[in-house]
Amino acid sequence: MSKAAAWVMKIDEKLYASVSRMELVHIVNKPESAHIPRAPVYCQKIIIWNDSLLPVMDLSCLLNDSKPSTACNVVAVIMYRDSRNEEIHYGGISLADTPELEYVDNTQVCEFPDNKEKLQAISLSCFKSSKMCEVPILDISKVFSRDYAEECKGQHC
């Protein structure tokens, strides 16, 4: 059985998520960020990367209804296609630690962590990592989509 490469990202102390090796294009340690007033609570920071402004998603805030993180230790720069026009874009995901590359296969498929309906809405599947924690595979097109942002508008999605 063939294995696929996945970047396992530590979102916070309890939450992990993953993306494919091709979606994570850069890791920025201790980035300087700027606060964006009136942006959605889970996306109030931007960083400059490759002479571009990147929105930084705080998935812990989005998925746990918690306050946005004040510190931004690591940002995973993610490449994704806009579902409306197929253009390639970049965005950031705030992480608690540097991601680790892991090779996974179908034997590791598992259920999503308990009480994670919001996580399931932005994930494709879930696997049990080598550290024995459940790791959802993010649907990056949905995480950064305008449609998803509209669903969340006016509520703490």
Our count of domains for the chain comes to 1
Instruction: Kindly tell me the sign of the dihedral angle through the C-alpha atoms of 65, 69, 73, 77.
Output: positive
Range of the domain at 28: 4-151
In a domain, 8, yes or no: yes
Structure token digits, residue 72: 């931004």
In this prediction, residue 156 carries a pLDDT of: 47
* Residue of 155 and 31 predicted with greater confidence: 31
> 2 Cβ partners below 8 Å, 6+ apart?
105
pTM of the full predicted structure? Answer: 0.88
Helices (H), 24-139: 59-64, 117-121
* Region at 140 (left for phi over 0; alpha for psi -120 to 50; beta for the rest): alpha
In a domain, 17, yes or no: yes
The predicted-structure confidence for 42-91, as pLDDT tens digits, reads as follows: 889 999 999 999 999 999 888 887 777 767 789 999 999 877 788 899 99
In a domain, 156, yes or no: no
What is the arithmetic mean of pLDDT over 5-21? 94
Q: How far apart are CA 157 and CA 155, in angstroms?
A: 6
Structure token digits, residue 30: 């201790």
- The domain that contains 56 carries what CATH number? 2.40.50.180
User: Beta partners for 55?
Assistant: 46
